[in-house]
Structure 1
Amino acid sequence: MVIRGKYCVINGLIKPAERFKTEFIKNGCSIYEVLRVLNGKPVFIEAHLVRLQGSAHLTAAELPTFTTIQKGINQLIAANQIENGNIELVANAADDWSVRFIPHYWPLPEEYENGVNTMLYKAMRENPNAKIKFTDLRAAVGTFIKQNNIFEAIYVSKNGCITEGSKSNIFFIIHNTFYTAPDEQVLPGITRKVVLHILKKHKYPVKYRNVHIDELADFDAAFITGTSPGVLPIAKINDYTYDVRQKALRNIMALFETRLFST
């Protein structure tokens, strides 16, 4: 298990990083959150904790209090003296939880400028509204991404409908109208939530419906959202190409960046 930094926090106590064991993550059971840390502060922490609570409700898991988790996160940041990075919080029970810095990849400026390549992948997460560790699926998708030299894999259901990315949510744009899958079919991404708030505030139309793979050629632009990528343009899905300079897309990217660095 790769950890960034010298320390982790296990059940509220600071421990050497090597004390974190793979056994702490239970495939198909552990609920988790990945938070971005900027300038020594966890970003959108309240929204992450609310989503964690939602995952616990859906899986009948018990959690430590929000105050306890926040204290553990602050301890982790202070102990490692890491200003920028990603933290993973894993919870199995009120007395079985941990937080640690994990290796991360934040897109390069040229990827925000030129967009990234993606491919379709036939899969759907079980219980999509809950953020649960499915290590077998993640490993298979990770191999697929690496073998095809792409940034992200886009999940497609058995009936050909696009739901979400393996570690992101996805939006499509046509005539300045934004399309994204219905809430009940995807993980309620924190960045997705912020983007939806921005779209509402700036009066962009949003349609919550599945995009079928037969419609991919109809859209002007597409982008993914997530803790690490933020708002990232898609240049290609399989052989379909998209306008990474589309005006509404670029506007949302700028508005999200402003929101991110104002937290």
Structure 2
Amino acid sequence: MTECLGKYFMRNGKLLETNGFQCDFLSRPHYIYEVFRVIEGIPLFIEDHLERLRQTVRLSGLQEDSVPGDFFEQVSRLVEANELREGNIKVVVLPGEGDEPADFMIYVMEHQYPTKEQFIEGVALALHQGIRQNPNAKVMDVGLRSNANAIKHEQQVYETLLVDEQDCITEGSRSNVFFVYGQGLITPPIEDVLPGVTRKHVVKLCRDLGIPLSEQKVPESSLAEMEGVFITGTSRKVLPAFRIDAWLYPPDHPIIRRVQQAFNRQVKRYLDGAVAKNPLG
């Protein structure tokens, strides 16, 4: 897998050719990162991603100026230089040694989006014993990600759901999770998960739609009572699941379809608004 795509990447404010990109940081056990999606040449919800990146930097004890003030401009330069219309962009912040400033990189990364069939028929999920040490910060945990990838390969599932030491489901290895229960939805508490940007928009959309939403612990033992499930994420949007281990769920539950449709409309509104008012400007 190629980590950096396109002709150019940004490093500390400079536009450089990708043949000079070094990915040795990938072997570090932890590093700060952010990923956002570009659709029709527009970085989707970029303001939310910048807010989360700054939060992660604060929670990790780095100086706030580790994220440059001209972040939007750097992203714009990268998108234009690579003539990027569709894809994912990754931001990496590497702490400097001693008094050295942080190393700040922005680049186009490989992506894999769900197929039309998966959005309709759902995907398979598997449970995975594991926790994030600092769940509210988007810090790469290479060991956790490696274990999740191994389970996905061995069990031929799309995603794994993390289960903590209290046997409660928290989040996916690369996603947040929502469960249909009765006339509403349940999702694990914000303090236990990475506050996903898509999750944030889904929570607000549920309020707007009048869909009851409760943030509460989800014991593994309660899976038999759930009536549907979907995961959310930058690449996944709102993606239904038809199975978690041996538990089966209808991917076309009416509540899931309502949320899917509402989120797709929200994306369109954002893109339409960005054409009139460039958020990078």
- TM-score, normalised relative to structure 2: 0.90
Match of 1:101 in 2: 108
Aligned 8 A contact 2:67 2:104 in 1: no
- Residues 233-254 of structure 1: CA deviation (Å, up to 9, x unaligned): 0100001011111111100000
**Structure 2 CA distance for partners of 1:48 and 1:233, relative to 1, 3 Å:** same
**Aligned amino acid, residue 9 of structure 2:** C
Is residue 49–residue 66 contact of structure 1 (8 Å, CA) maintained in 2?
no
SS class of match (2:48): helix
Residue of 208, 219, 235 corresponding to 1:201: 208
Following the alignment from structure 2 to structure 1, what is the Cα–Cα distance between the partners of residues 68 and 182?
Answer: 42
How many residue pairs are counted as aligned between the two chains? 263
Larger CA deviation: 160-169 vs 86-95 = 86-95
Q: Which shifted more, 147-156 or 15-24?
A: 15-24
Write the distance in 2 (CA, Å) between the matches of 1:115 and 1:125: 26
- 1:126 counterpart = 2:138: no
CA distances 1:11-52 after superposition (whole Å, capped 9, x unpaired): 111111132212345735421110000011110011111111
2:82 matched to 1:75? Answer: no
Match of 2:94 among 92, 109, 119: 92
**118, 124, 129: which one pairs with 1:111?**
118
For the aligned residues, what is the CA RMSD? 1.4
Q: What CA deviation, in whole Å up to 9, does each residue of 1:206-230 have, x standing for no partner?
A: 1111111111010110000000000
Structure 2 residues without counterparts, runs of 5 or longer? 96-100, 271-281
Cα contact 2:181–2:226 (8 A) shared by 1: yes
1:53 aligns with 54
Query: What is the one-letter code of the residue matched to 2:147?
Result: A
The residue that corresponds to 1:229 in the other structure is 236
Q: 1:107-163 CA deviation, whole Å, 9 max, x = no partner?
A: 000000000001000001110000001122212211221221110000001221000
1:170 is matched with 177
Q: Is the 8 A contact 1:25 1:90 kept in 2?
A: no
Amino acid at match of 1:215: S
Contact 1:234 1:244 in 2 (8 A): yes
For 2:25 and 2:17, locate their aligned partners in 1 and report how far apart those are by CA, in whole Å.
15
Consecutive unaligned residues in structure 1, runs of 5 or more = none
Which deviates more, 142-151 or 93-102?
93-102
SS at match of 1:70: helix
Deviation (angstroms), 1:4: 1.6
CA distance in 1, matches of 2:41, 2:54: 24
Aligned to 2:267: 260
Q: 1:209 is matched by which residue type in structure 2?
A: Q
- CA deviations 1:44-78 (Å, max 9, x no partner) are 01111111111111111124455422111111111
Q: Is the 8 A contact 2:57 2:66 kept in 1?
A: no
Are residue 181 (structure 1) and residue 188 (structure 2) matched?
yes
Question: Is 1:238 equivalent to 2:239 in the alignment?
Answer: no
SS of the residue 2:146 aligns to: helix
Distance 1:20 1:111 in 2: 34
Q: Percent identity?
A: 32
Distance 1:69 1:131 in 2: 18
Alignment correspondent of 1:18: 19
Partner of 2:274: none
238-247 or 19-28: bigger deviation? 19-28
Q: Bigger CA drift: 97-106 or 64-73?
A: 64-73
TM-score (norm 1): 0.96
In 1, the alpha carbon distance for the partners of 2:145 and 2:164 equals 16
1:182 partner amino acid: P
Find out whether 1:137 has 2:138 as its counterpart. no
